[in-house]
């Protein structure tokens, strides 16, 4: 599956380089219309992720108009339930995956609606909007976290937004480490990378490459329809 991404900050759809420097911004609703051919959209509330606010009303509008997996600041069962009530099909949990709240979230909305985000920078998982490093690697925790989710979203933060390609070998190792659905993000820049991920059985979550026109949306949609 090919999953376009809408990252929200200050009411805009934005793309950041390595989660920090804003490279571009766009209208979220117009962006959603551009992605209409795709079966699922990834929506991340970056303000909620870093604790600087939220875009709840906008998230609810997006989730009412498309099938959305939604994340950003999901650290309690109450927050997860609220997102489901707003229309999210599934909820992405990052920081809370390494706290007791994970089991509560999984129990509250059902394992099948939980995606765990494992975001890696310099070889280790980073949390709280990619601003804090943990001592874990993604490979270390996959099997331990499987009982609480239906899939994993794994972002190669080292190349996020840099348009320099991603680390396909890392995703191969992750694919070998879990039977759950796996979605790759971070630096995916070419059609060849997308096709290789599909051959592995890994979804591709795409951001900068489609916002800048580096990859053609119409071609991606044709690949998505042919595959899905």
Catalytic residues: 7, 119
Sequence-distant (6+) residues with CB within 8 A of 202 are 171, 174, 175, 182, 183, 184
| Helix or strand run (H / E) with residue 22 | strand 21-26
**How many Å apart are CA 69 and CA 90, to the nearest integer?**
5
**How many Å apart are CA 117 and CA 98, to the nearest integer?**
11
Give me Rg for the CA atoms of the chain. Answer: 16
Query: Residue 204 phi/psi, 5° resolution?
Result: -120, 115
Alpha-helical regions (H) of the chain: 28-34, 46-50, 56-65, 77-85, 101-109, 138-145, 168-177, 191-200, 208-211, 217-227
Q: Closest by alpha carbon to 120, among 137, 103, 107, 145?
A: 137
């Amino acid at each position: 599956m090919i999953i376009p991404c809408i990252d929200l900050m200050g009411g805009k759809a934005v793309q950041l380089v390595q989660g920090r420097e804003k490279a571009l911004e766009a209208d979220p609703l117009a962006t959603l219309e551009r992605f209409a051919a795709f079966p699922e959209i990834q929506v991340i509330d970056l303000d909620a992720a870093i604790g600087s606010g939220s875009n709840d009303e906008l998230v609810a509008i997006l989730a009412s108009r498309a099938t959305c997996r939604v994340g950003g600041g999901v650290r309690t069962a109450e927050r997860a339930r609220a997102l489901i009530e707003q229309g999210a099909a599934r909820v992405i949990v990052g920081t809370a995956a390494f706290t007791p709240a994970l089991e509560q979230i999984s129990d509250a909305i059902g394992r099948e609606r939980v995606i765990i985000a494992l975001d890696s920078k310099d070889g280790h998982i980073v949390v709280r909007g990619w601003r804090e490093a943990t001592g874990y690697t993604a490979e270390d925790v996959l099997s331990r976290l499987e009982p609480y989710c239906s899939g994993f979203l794994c972002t190669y933060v080292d190349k996020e937004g840099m348009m320099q390609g991603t680390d396909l070998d890392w995703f191969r190792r992750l694919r070998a480490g879990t039977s759950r659905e796996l979605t790759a993000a971070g630096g995916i820049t070419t059609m060849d990378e997308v096709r290789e991920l599909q051959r592995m059985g890994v979804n591709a979550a795409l951001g900068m490459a489609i916002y800048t026109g580096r990859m053609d949306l119409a071609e991606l949609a044709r690949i998505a329809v042919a595959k899905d």
